Amino acid sequence: MAEEEIESKSENVKLSKSWQTYLFEFVSLTLAVFMGFFAENLREEMAERKQAIELAQNLYDELLTDSIAVGQTISGRHRMNGALLALKDYVRDSSLSNVSKGFIKNFFSGIHYSNRFQPTDVVLEQLKASGSLSYFKSKELQRLIHNLGGAISHVRQRNQIELEFGYTYIIPFNVKHIDQEYLPKITDLRRVPLNELLGLINRDSIPIPFEITNLNQFKRKDVINMLLVYRNLVENGASACNYYREANSKLLIELRKEYQIKPRRNK
């Protein structure tokens, strides 16, 4: 009887050890699978983070370049606005048979040298087309990118309206009434920046054989109306540029905040 009890206890001990072994192996296996899964997720998250930083850097560089360009455009549009007002006053009150240097300068500043901002969205469109925008997890970042897209569309719409107005009114006016030989004469057929051109006009040594052609067909009121409408388009375009500049600035700030981005230094 004693021997049977001993054997029974021995079998129970073996059975208990077997369950403990199975349980240990099960827990070990589960833990290994979990750790492997965790490590893989961590690796993927690190890879996505690295990819997001690279994409954010490219987007940041594009935005930074445009932030400078749009600022220059806004300044140029302020100059255009003043020139168009001065032209309007001159057309209303002054002689058209012997135009002043002021008229010539304001004509080139307000009409001849257009100042339109062309937003760059190469990187942004690449991100959209490839689905890479999903790497940006921040909801605020996603919202600001969406706002930037809207601002770009608005700028391009205003540019298109101005172009259509130019084709319909500005170009026919120039062909009919503006001396097209003047600019090649004083620049020696060169394409010069506006500041250089205005400097040439101011020089006393430069003759100014500028004339308004077809004066008998020049209708002051119609021209004034054209200038005022164009000025309104210029102001609306400046507002669109300001809206873009604000959207651009906010996105740059958020990219720096989210990814600690700094402008790349030119080597």
C-alpha dist (Å) from residue 20 to 6, 8, 15, 16, 24: 21, 18, 9, 6, 6
**% pLDDT > 90, the chain:** 50
pLDDT, tens digit (0-9, with 9 covering 90-100), for 141-197: 999 999 999 999 999 999 999 999 999 999 999 999 998 888 888 887 678 787 788
C-alpha dist (Å) from residue 7 to 19, 21, 79: 18, 21, 106
**Token reading at 141:** 């970042």
Whether 73 has a pLDDT exceeding 80, the answer reads: yes
The residue type found at 156 is: R
Contact 59, 241 (CB under 8 A): no
pLDDT of residue 90: 95
Which phi and psi (to 5°) does residue 70 adopt? Answer: -70, -35
pLDDT, tens digit (0-9, with 9 covering 90-100), for 203-259: 766 666 788 999 999 999 999 999 999 999 999 999 999 999 999 999 999 999 988
Contact 236, 186 (CB under 8 A): no
**Token reading at 205:** 């040594």
- Spatial neighbors of 101 by CB under 8 A, at least 6 apart, are 201, 202, 208
pLDDT of residue 8: 53
Among 75, 108, 116, smallest CA distance to 193 is for: 108
Which residue has tokens 């021209």?
223
CA distance 12 to 18: 10
User: What confidence tier does 107 reach under pLDDT thresholds 50, 70, 90?
Assistant: very high
Q: What are the extents of the domains in the chain?
A: 63-259
- Other beta carbons within 10 angstroms of residue 220's beta carbon come to 12
pLDDT of residue 30: 63
**DSSP structural state of residue 116:** -
pLDDT of residue 35: 59
CA distance 87 to 243: 28
pLDDT of residue 74: 96
The model's pTM: 0.78
pLDDT, tens digit (0-9, with 9 covering 90-100), for 229-238: 999 999 999 9
Whether 45 has a pLDDT exceeding 60, the answer reads: no
User: What confidence tier does 38 reach under pLDDT thresholds 50, 70, 90?
Assistant: very low
pLDDT, tens digit (0-9, with 9 covering 90-100), for 114-143: 889 999 999 989 888 888 888 788 899 999
User: What confidence tier does 201 reach under pLDDT thresholds 50, 70, 90?
Assistant: confident
**Token reading at 90:** 């001159």
Contact 145, 262 (CB under 8 A): no
